[in-house]
Amino acid sequence: MKDKPVLEIRVDIDKPGLRMETERGEVTMIPFSGAADSDLFHGIVEPWGVDTQILNHAGVRHMSARYVLTGKDKDGQDCHIYIENNGYLPNVPSKVFKTVPTFYTDSKLLAPYLHYDHFYGIGSVEDGQLWIRFYEI
């Protein structure tokens, strides 16, 4: 299972966010929604997700996305997954970046697996669409 994503998320940018320049750096907040799919879970990204990006003087972009998935676990039970996904990348054009996610879920089936922090994420832009895929370490 380590080569196959544990969870795959299609990110949809729904509306304009906020971009603010300060003497310390730049802050960008990007609201988003989307869809999530895997062998473990199928559902949506609730539309109140937000990716906060801070570009510092060193040219490093720190990213912290927080969002909730609503859907069904592998057994068909209704559930939610909260995700805090953090990463960074140099301020150079890139279509791939790495992240470190933290999961919280109310699924009795998924909690013993997702609550154990042993995952990493890969973000990529494919044909103009942003994808986040989580893998087990």
Pairing mode, strands 119-126 and 18-21: unpaired
- Six-digit token pair at 9? 């998320």
The pLDDT value recorded for residue 59 is 84
Span 14-40, mean pLDDT?
Answer: 93
Rounded-to-integer distance, Cα 10 and Cα 31, Å: 14
The pLDDT value recorded for residue 1 is 47
Span 110-131, mean pLDDT?
Answer: 93
**Selected residue with higher pLDDT from 58 and 136:** 136
Q: Which residues pair with 20 in a beta bridge?
A: 27
Give tens-digit pLDDT for 67-111: 999 999 999 999 999 999 999 886 666 778 999 999 999 999 999
Q: Which residues pair with 60 in a beta bridge?
A: 90
Domains, the chain, ordered by start:
7-136 (2.40.160.20)
